[in-house]
């Protein structure tokens, strides 16, 4: 394993020190327990808080700032944060209008955030949670852990943050968040495995000509292993899975989010995005908003994910609202 | 036969030692079906438990189990932290302020722990999780109630081993392995394995 690290056990802490140094105008970092919080905390409106394992940067700490998250709680690499960290972030960022926790549907995240929400409620804070489960690769059934929260999380955090910024009540921010969750769908593929620093070897074995179709954000499998194929065919396969699921239909206006899992360069990412735009146009689906880049990653894993969010006027205007965070910045 | 708080502390130290020695094995079990960190997370938690025990000395079995619970909850993360944390917390609560742990108390504590895991994780026997190891272990400890704590724990550890092995042919229905569907068949569940290891450590410490 070659990585730019010192001690695997110190990776998250040392990375947070760099984040704090680079963006001291936007945020500050606490270390024990660890969380990232806006420099101007507590929030005047509803505090929008998220978190999860580290290794998905810029998710979530990179989205702390004006118009998006009020606090983010990083866990160890690929491991959800503990309840005391989440509770500390809630306490530090929540003002008089309560807090909305954005939780990805992973067992660990759900259990730890659930516990933290109970602790915060016991302190008298008005805390609600929404669980995002946009991954179409996983069967949604009461007999499984259910669909995972993946790329849609980025869009949800932006839109919920914008709703808070315009002064919405906790009820209203929660309602917007639930609307996004109802209308967003994603799928991911992996071309190679990531290496978790404290493990030191790749998380899974993938042959040179194999692709894992339907990965989660840790590179964990979801659907099937297929032979590598040209980008046209792969993007069509991915889009079909997403479009058929909601389903998205001709005439829909959508946001298309083409995401690198960390190791796929922009050359390939834009290539895939271009194909996706063309294929959506062929279906009569109008792409009116875009996001392209590495925003929810899986360490250095090669691969991409595609996320579609059906837009209405409200969601489009919340997406367009100014945002100023380390990783997303526009209009301000 | 019953045991003192100091015996419980000894068992917890033995458990930490077993987790440290099986750290790589647990992570390897997690690799094909999860995200390859179960051994790492458990070891981080139990290393912190040892550090806490060096600075605090609860005088009741419940007090010691509560230290394990709160430390695991705050240090492990993932799914294992809240699940094991809840198990130890419920076990601690079930024991009240008793200064000694007897056969009856052991069964009560194990059962409370199991119920806590089931309530938090919403998993049942057959879902390929730690419940598959813990549930038969509770039954075995109950059945061996007349034979004393050491025999009960030995029986529980045997049952947990067998229960963990029973996850191999199962389709995982909870946790990260559930995303694999049919492809989760043929894998020993890492949580079931760590449960069996913990019970074996307790049994060996009680001998």
Domains of chain B by start residue, with CATH? 5-206 (1.25.40.340)
What length does chain A have?
332
The predicted structure's pLDDT at residue B182: 86
Predicted confidence (pLDDT) per residue in B87-119, tens digit? 999 999 999 999 999 999 999 999 999 999 999
- Which of A234-238, A302-306, B148-152, B181-185 shows the lowest mean pLDDT across its residues? B181-185
The predicted structure's pLDDT at residue A219: 84
Cβ distance A84 to B74 less than 8 Å, yes or no, reads yes
The predicted structure's pLDDT at residue A140: 66
Using a CB-CB cut-off of 8 Å, the residues of chain B touching A114 are 82
Whether B31 shows a pLDDT value over 90: the answer reads: no
Provide the ipTM. 0.75
3-state helix, strand, coil in chain B (%, to 5): 75, 5, 25
Predicted confidence (pLDDT) per residue in A264-280, tens digit? 999 999 999 999 999 99
SS3 for A183-203, per residue? HEEEEEEECCCCECCCCCCEC
Query: Does residue B57 or residue A277 have the better pLDDT?
Result: A277
The predicted structure's pLDDT at residue A143: 65
Report d(CA B174, CA B79) in Å as an integer.
Answer: 11
Q: If you average pLDDT over residues B116-135, what whole number do you get? A: 94
Whether B78 shows a pLDDT value over 90: the answer reads: no
Report d(CA B143, CA B154) in Å as an integer.
Answer: 12
Cβ distance B35 to A218 less than 8 Å, yes or no, reads yes
Strand partners, A179: none
Whether B5 shows a pLDDT value over 90: the answer reads: yes
Q: If you average pLDDT over residues B168-195, what whole number do you get? A: 92
Contact between A250 and A304 (Cβ < 8 Å)? no
Report d(CA A179, CA B146) in Å as an integer.
Answer: 58
Using a CB-CB cut-off of 8 Å, the residues of chain A touching B175 are 107, 145
Cβ distance A107 to B175 less than 8 Å, yes or no, reads yes
Contact between A26 and A79 (Cβ < 8 Å)? no
Q: Chain-wide mean pLDDT for chain B? A: 94
User: Which stretches in chain A have pLDDT values below 50?
Assistant: none
- Return the number of other C-beta atoms located less than 10 Å from residue B48's C-beta: 18
The predicted structure's pLDDT at residue A142: 62
The residues, ordered by sequence, that sit 6+ positions from A54 with a Cβ below 8 Å of its Cβ are A11, A12, A15, A74, A75, A76, A77, A78
Report d(CA A281, CA A287) in Å as an integer.
Answer: 8
The predicted structure's pLDDT at residue B77: 86
The predicted structure's pLDDT at residue A115: 85
Q: If you average pLDDT over residues B23-49, what whole number do you get? A: 92
Q: Active-site residue A273, yes or no? A: no
Quick check: A76 contacting B, CB < 8 Å? yes
Q: If you average pLDDT over residues B141-159, what whole number do you get? A: 97
Name which of B44, B121, B180 is nearest A221 (Cβ-Cβ): B180
Using a CB-CB cut-off of 8 Å, the residues of chain B touching A220 are 34-35, 176, 179
Whether B135 shows a pLDDT value over 80: the answer reads: yes
Q: Out of A23, A56, A60, A70, which one is annotated catalytic?
A: A56
- pTM of the predicted model as reported, rounded to 2 decimal places: 0.88
B105 by DSSP, 3-state: which?
A: helix
Contact between A226 and A303 (Cβ < 8 Å)? no
Using a CB-CB cut-off of 8 Å, the residues of chain B touching A144 are 173-174, 178-179
**Which of B36, B52, B76 to substitute to test the interface with A, most A CBs within 10 Å?**
B36
């Amino acid at each position: 394993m070659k990585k730019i690290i010192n001690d695997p056990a110190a990776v998250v802490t040392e990375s947070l020190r760099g984040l704090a140094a680079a963006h001291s105008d936007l945020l500050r970092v606490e270390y024990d327990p660890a969380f990232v919080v806006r420099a101007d905390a507590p929030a005047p409106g509803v505090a929008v808080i998220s978190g999860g394992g580290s290794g998905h940067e810029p998710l979530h700490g990179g989205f702390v700032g004006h118009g998006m998250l009020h606090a983010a709680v990083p866990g160890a690499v690929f491991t959800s944060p503990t309840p005391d960290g989440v509770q500390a972030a809630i306490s530090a960022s929540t003002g008089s209008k309560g807090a909305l926790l954005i939780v990805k549907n992973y067992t660990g995240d759900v259990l730890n955030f659930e516990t933290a929400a109970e602790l915060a409620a016991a302190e008298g804070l008005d805390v609600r949670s929404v669980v995002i489960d946009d991954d179409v690769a996983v069967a949604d059934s009461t007999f499984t852990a259910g669909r995972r929260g993946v790329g849609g999380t980025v869009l949800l955090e932006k839109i919920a943050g914008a709703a808070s910024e315009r002064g919405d009540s906790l009820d209203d921010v929660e309602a917007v968040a639930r609307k996004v969750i109802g209308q967003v769908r994603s799928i991911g593929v992996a071309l190679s495995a990531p290496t978790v620093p404290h493990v030191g070897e790749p998380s899974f074995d993938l042959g040179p000509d194999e692709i894992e179709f339907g990965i989660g954000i840790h590179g964990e499998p979801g659907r099937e292993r297929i032979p590598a194929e040209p980008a046209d065919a792969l993007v069509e396969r991915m889009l079909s899975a997403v479009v058929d699921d909601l389903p998205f239909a001709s005439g829909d206006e959508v946001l298309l989010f083409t995401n690198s899992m960390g190791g796929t360069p922009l050359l390939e990412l834009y290539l895939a995005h271009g194909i996706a735009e063309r294929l959506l146009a062929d279906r009569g689906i109008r792409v009116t908003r875009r996001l392209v880049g590495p925003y929810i990653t899986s360490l250095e894993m090669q691969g991409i994910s595609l996320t579609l969010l059906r837009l209405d006027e409200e969601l489009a205007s919340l997406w367009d609202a100014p945002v100023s965070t380390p990783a997303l910045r526009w209009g301000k | 036969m019953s045991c003192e708080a100091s015996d419980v502390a000894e068992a917890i130290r033995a458990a930490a030692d077993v987790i440290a020695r099986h750290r790589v094995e647990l992570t390897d079990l997690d690799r094909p079906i999860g995200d390859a960190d179960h051994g790492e997370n458990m070891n981080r938690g139990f290393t912190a438990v040892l550090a806490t025990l060096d600075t605090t000395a609860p005088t009741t079995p419940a007090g010691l189990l509560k230290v394990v619970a709160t430390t695991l909850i705050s240090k492990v993360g993932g799914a294992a932290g809240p699940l094991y944390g809840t198990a130890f917390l419920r076990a601690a609560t079930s024991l009240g302020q008793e200064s000694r742990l007897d056969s009856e108390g052991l069964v009560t504590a194990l059962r409370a722990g199991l119920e806590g895991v089931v309530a938090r994780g919403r998993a049942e026997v057959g879902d390929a999780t730690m419940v598959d190891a813990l549930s038969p272990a509770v039954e075995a400890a109950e059945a061996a109630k007349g034979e004393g704590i050491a025999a009960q724990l030995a029986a529980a550890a045997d049952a947990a081993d067998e229960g963990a092995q029973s996850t191999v042919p199962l389709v995982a229905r909870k946790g990260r392995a559930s995303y694999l569907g049919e492809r989760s068949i043929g894998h020993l569940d890492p949580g079931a394995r760590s449960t069996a290891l913990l019970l074996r450590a307790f049994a060996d410490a009680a001998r």
